[in-house]
Amino acid sequence: MLVLSRRVNQSIKIGDDIEIMIIEVRGDQVRVGVSAPRDVAVHRKEVYLQIQQENVKAAEAFVSGDDLSAALDGLLPQDPDIS
């Protein structure tokens, strides 16, 4: 994991199209702005995990048996930090 220090109004670039800007720091909270192309989904992690769980439930409703694990392989996060 890359760890960077930034101050208010400073930013971080990810590739050519994504910019993360520090908007405000107040106590232990940081307001962050994300500028990304419309085709790039940007979610808080807890929302992302909820979406993944809903995708798994939807897959389970339409696929059964051995085909289920093959279908879920494409839906579950591959990041070992996400569980």
Strands (E) located in the chain: 11-14, 18-26, 29-35
User: pTM for the whole thing?
Assistant: 0.66
Q: What is the distance between the alpha carbons of residues 12 and 6, in angstroms, rounded to a whole number? A: 8
More confident call, 58 vs 67 = 58
Strand partners, 5: none
CA atoms within 13 A on the CB side of 59: 18
Tens of pLDDT, residues 22-57:
999 999 999 999 999 999 999 999 999 999 999 888
More confident call, 57 vs 14 = 14
